[in-house]
Amino acid sequence: MCAIECGKRGRTVLVIDHAERTGSKIRVSGGGRCNFTNLNITPDHYLSRNLHFCTSALARFTPRDILSLVEKYHIAYYEKEEGQLFCVKSAREIITALEQECGQAGAEIRLSCRVSDISHAKMFAVATSEGMFSSDSLVIATGGLSYSKLGASDFGHEVARKFKLRVTQVKPALVPFVFQGRDQKIFKGLAGITVAAAVSIGRKKIRGNILFTHRGLSGPSALQASLYWEPGEPLLIDLLPLLDIDEVFLSARQSKMELHTLLAGHLPKRFVQTWCDHMVISKPINQCSDKELKSIAEGLHTWRIIPKGTEGYDVAEVTAGGVNTNELSSKTMESKKISGLYFIGEVVDVTGLLGGYNLHWAWASGYAAGQFA
Ligand SMILES: Cc1cc2nc3c(=O)[nH]c(=O)nc-3n(C[C@H](O)[C@H](O)[C@H](O)COP(=O)(O)OP(=O)(O)OC[C@H]3O[C@@H](n4cnc5c(N)ncnc54)[C@H](O)[C@@H]3O)c2cc1C
């Protein structure tokens, strides 16, 4: 996006990428259908040490702008849920559109090109496997650390440090949680089961499905919770966020119905079976004491787990944290210290929620820098 915009301004542009193909993350994004933006984008959908940093770029490049490109290339798209726009056919179409736009703007792309050193005197000098390049602007768009198999590296953070720009602490995010050993043993049989839940972490409450995996928890609300989670913190999971199970127990108080039969009316059967085998003792409701029912209700509304960790960078959709936004102009993405040096996309400490926000940040910050670099 940045190369296209720079090229349109008549700049001579070279995109250097060590990967063999362009846009590898776009290709795998959205399960291969690329959730390329979200109609409801606001700065509130982003996390950063400076929550206002993304406002300016997002105001200048809106979902309508990326849609113009998508429509120009006749790429069919649809709204999945809550404003999330996906390609009908394939993420590959977005890559092709960007490549063609680059071509038309005269921006050259060099793939399989390794960068060994960057230095700066009057100009930037970039030493690569294909020789030395010099330029008066240098834009770092090397993304985060997640999915190293797709070419991700900490290169961008290293460049920032080299030029004495601060980098905030980074962590894998939008990533599944891994259970502690005991929970893993209990719940691994539930892999593939989803529960409409609400995951709370600190004061943050995220509604949506959780998905049991062989090792822990995934699904939209667990992934989103990983943005806020720090090691050792508990997750509180409401397994029945739309129901007051106390009321249900009260109305069935005299019933001889087994607890697990009652719960199976509200939760997946296999989940209830495991829950009743390990967390409570199933018996007829009328034989449960008030105290027992209260504790069961509490367990279901505030299931407390302390994850062992997350699945890490190999699986994370994004890297939270990055180049400290105080180092950059929110209008241009240029370093305040080093004139001509720009950082855009995921390498910057701006992380979007799940739902097309991260790619939109990549487009918007790229567009912003593209007007100045
Ligand atoms: C599985 C998966 C699914 C995702 N799905 C979505 C989604 O549906 N919607 C959404 O909004 N976001 C999604 N994301 C996140 C989104 O893909 C990223 O936030 C976005 O691609 C970041 O764009 P970027 O240009 O900053 O970095 P990237 O897209 O990561 O691009 C960085 C480029 O820099 C190159 N590079 C890295 N290091 C070097 C180096 N040392 N030398 C030369 N080149 C280098 C890489 O090869 C790569 O081409 C997903 C991520 C993953 C991993």
What is the arithmetic mean of pLDDT over 161-177?
Answer: 98
pLDDT given at position 81: 87
Answer whether 365 contacts ligand 1 (Cβ < 6 A).
no
Ligand 1 center–CA 143 separation, angstroms: 5
Tell me which of 13-17, 128-132, 171-175, 255-259 is least confident. 255-259
Residue 8 pLDDT exceeds 90: yes
Tell me which of 24-28, 34-38, 289-293 is least confident. 289-293
Ligand 1 center–CA 295 separation, angstroms: 45
Ligand 1 center–CA 359 separation, angstroms: 8
Which residue has a Cα nearest atom 13 of ligand 1? Answer: 29
Answer whether 322 contacts ligand 1 (Cβ < 6 A).
no
Residue 82 pLDDT exceeds 90: no
Answer whether 86 contacts ligand 1 (Cβ < 6 A).
no
Per-residue pLDDT band for 252 (boundaries 50, 70, 90) equals very high
Residue 153 pLDDT exceeds 90: no
pLDDT given at position 308: 98
- Average pLDDT, rounded, for the chain: 96
Mutation choice for ligand 1 from 16, 20, 29, 354, CB with most ligand atoms inside 8 A: 29
Predicted confidence (pLDDT) per residue in 200-229, tens digit: 999 999 999 999 999 999 999 999 999 999
Per-residue pLDDT band for 248 (boundaries 50, 70, 90) equals very high
pTM of model > 0.85: yes
Ligand 1 center–CA 89 separation, angstroms: 20
Residue 276 has φ and ψ, to the nearest 5°, of -70, -30
Residue 334 pLDDT exceeds 90: yes
Predicted confidence (pLDDT) per residue in 33-43, tens digit: 999 999 999 99
Which residue has a Cα nearest atom 17 of ligand 1? Answer: 25
What is the arithmetic mean of pLDDT over 65-69?
Answer: 98
Burial pattern 265-295, b for ≥16 Cβ within 10 A else e, equals eebbeebbbbbbeeebebeebeebeeebbee
What is the 3-state secondary structure of 3-67? Answer: HHHHHHCCCCCEEECCCCCCCHHHHHHHHHCCEEEECCCCHHHEECCCCCCCHHHHHHCCHHHHH
What is the arithmetic mean of pLDDT over 20-24?
Answer: 95
Q: Give the residue, 33 or 283, on which the prediction is more confident.
A: 33
Answer whether 29 contacts ligand 1 (Cβ < 6 A).
yes
What is the arithmetic mean of pLDDT over 69-83?
Answer: 96
What is the arithmetic mean of pLDDT over 54-75?
Answer: 98
Answer whether 18 contacts ligand 1 (Cβ < 6 A).
yes
Answer whether 282 contacts ligand 1 (Cβ < 6 A).
no
